[in-house]
Each structure stands twice: as structure tokens, then as C-alpha cells.
Amino acid sequence: MIVCFDIGGSAIKGAIAHSADRIEPLGRRPTPLDDFSAFVGTLRDVLAEAGGKPDCVAISITGVVYPDTQAIKCANIPCIDGRKLSDELSASLGLPVLIANDADCFALAEAGAGAGRGHRIVLGAILGTGVGGGLVVDGKLINADGGFAGEWGHGPAVASMAGTPPVAIPAFDCGCGQRGCVDTIGGARGMERLHQTLHGKTLTSQAITTLWLEGDAEADRTVDVLVDLVSSPLALTVNITGATIVPVGGGIANVSPLIAEIDKAVRSRILRKFDRPLVVPGECRVEPGLIGAAILGLGGETR
């Protein structure tokens, strides 16, 4: 038995995992953002609820772990930012602690229990508030020791012209410190930024996609530009990794027609040609972070 956690900026979700397909959810608790002692205490409370002594604790968490130092970069939870979180939690909880980025855990979940089953190379793509990703090869997470493999959302990769007909796109500042990242235009906030840039109107991503599905011309233009901007760097990532399936998670994954448009554009821009969908909505719609953390804790392999 292991206890796994899915930790974000708003909530800590826990579960008991006996296998990747046998996960028993535990309580959901608010994430202490500024008090590390309270953060550890919340994990202890979940462990107490689980009962017994687990073999280890496995955590899916927002942020990234630097492989050279094992320090975590997590702007959403200030009390853990910069800490060697695995070592500190292991010392505090008296258990081995494994930690992986939430996008990596999504990729693990999809490779083991979702749309990536049966594929050697699975690129999990996140199109949520922002853009992220993780890479699983031969059933194993490439980022087993922390790192950034599969993070196609960052790096100055956005075209300066996009859409039909082409329109100039500014290189927006990104929270990672660079400019022109896919993250700045590809997720929900990026869609909203594009709509404001193109039409001078402030709308939520949900409103834009609803209008797009209804045939609104301005929303159609925004989505056309977004698909163009996102598809080229995603196609490049597919070429580099050799992924044969790209499950998509995050809020935008719920808009199936939009994922279908991205899939069509990506397949037209890659070297290997597929006669079936490549970019698809993720199948682990409920708690993929917990599923991925469970797989991580159970040996880090999806098969």
C-alpha cells in the first residue's frame, strides 16, 4: 500500500493506492500556502486517515523539480518553493517520498490507464490555465529524477504571424521569465489574451469557446489563430520525441471539437503520417494526478 497525493495551489487530495486501478480516495483539504509546518501537518492528517504504515508517499504537485539540486520551483505554494521537498518531507513523515510534476503524473496516468495504453511513447499535453507536458517512454517517466522533458509550453516558440489570413502576434512575457512561450497563448489565459489582442474584448475562455461552437466570427478568428500557434510547436515536439499518441488534459481538453482541430493541424505538420487521431482528449478524466502518483509510487512504470 502507498498513500498518494495530488497537490495544487487550492487543494490537497489524498488516496490509498494498492494498484493503478485500485485507488481509494481520502479527504480533500485546503493547501496551506505560507506555512510549511501546516503543509506537513495536512499531509500527516491524510496519512492518519489512511491508517497503517504505507510503503511510501507519492506526490503529484504543481511546479518542477530541478534534477541537479532536487529543489522544487513552485510559485503557487510559496511555503515549499526552493525546498528540497522530497528530503524534507521524508524526514518529517518518516517515510520515503517520491515527487513528480503534475503534468508528468498526467502523462503516467494516460500511459498506464488512459488513451496511451499500448503506446511506447506517450506525450501528455496539458492545455489548462497554461500549457505543460510530460513524456513516458516504454512505460517509464523520463523525468524520474525531476526535470523538464516534455515541457513543450516553455521556450520562445510562438510564431510572429499566425492565422488565415496571417496576423501579427506579439511576443508576450511568460511567467517563466522568457518571452513568446506557447504557455502565453495556448491555454485558457492565452486564449483570453489572444481574443483581447485580436478584438479588443475581454472574455473568459469558456465564453470564447462557447461563441466559437455557436459560429461567432470573432471567436472563430481567435480559435483559428490559437490552433495555428499551438500546433507547430506541438508538431515539432512530436517529431523530436516520436510520440504516437498525445493525450490532452486540462480545461481545454473538455472542448472536443477544439482538440480535433489541433489534432488535424498537428498531423498535417509532422513527418510521420497517421490515419487516426494523434492528439486526443485524455481518458483519465477523474483524478489523473492521483492515478499518476499511484503509478509513480508503485514502481514508476505503467506496465
Question: CATH no. for residue 63?
Answer: 3.30.420.40
Measured between alpha carbons, how far is 292 from 300 in angstroms, rounded to an integer? 9
Answer whether residue 233 shows pLDDT above 70.
yes
Name the DSSP letter for residue 32.
P
At 217, the pLDDT band (50, 70, 90 cuts) reads very high
Pair 10, 33 in one domain: yes
Answer whether residue 12 shows pLDDT above 80.
yes
Pair 122, 271 in one domain: yes
Measured between alpha carbons, how far is 209 from 199 in angstroms, rounded to an integer? 15
Pair 220, 131 in one domain: yes
Answer whether residue 302 shows pLDDT above 60.
no
Measured between alpha carbons, how far is 295 from 169 in angstroms, rounded to an integer? 40
Pair 274, 150 in one domain: yes
At 300, the pLDDT band (50, 70, 90 cuts) reads low
pTM of model > 0.85: yes
Pair 95, 140 in one domain: no
Pair 271, 293 in one domain: no
CB-based contact 194:187 (threshold 8 Å): no
Task: State mean pLDDT over 56-72.
Answer: 87
182 grid coordinates: 506557447
Pair 148, 252 in one domain: yes
Please give the pLDDT value at position 303: 47
* Sequence-separated (6 or more) residues with CB below 8 Å from residue 174: 154, 180, 181, 183, 184
At 159, the pLDDT band (50, 70, 90 cuts) reads confident
At 68, the pLDDT band (50, 70, 90 cuts) reads confident
Quote the domain boundaries for residue 146: 118-281
**Peptide bond preceding 165 in cis form (omega within 30 of 0):** yes
Of 139-148, 180-189, 227-236, the range with the lowest mean pLDDT is: 139-148
Block residue for cell numbers 489548462: 128
Pair 128, 266 in one domain: yes
Q: Across 33-37, 152-156, 215-219, which has the greatest mean pLDDT?
A: 215-219
Pair 10, 127 in one domain: no
Looking at the DSSP bridge assignments, the partners of residue 141 are 136
Total tally of structural domains belonging to the chain: 2
Dihedral sign, Cα of residue 201, residue 206, residue 209, residue 213: negative
Of 23-27, 83-87, 226-230, the range with the lowest mean pLDDT is: 23-27
| CA nearest neighbour of 146 among 206, 105, 115, 187 | 105
Answer whether residue 64 shows pLDDT above 90.
no
Measured between alpha carbons, how far is 96 from 188 in angstroms, rounded to an integer? 36
Answer whether residue 163 shows pLDDT above 70.
yes
Share of the chain above pLDDT 90, in %: 63
224 grid coordinates: 483559428
At 301, the pLDDT band (50, 70, 90 cuts) reads low
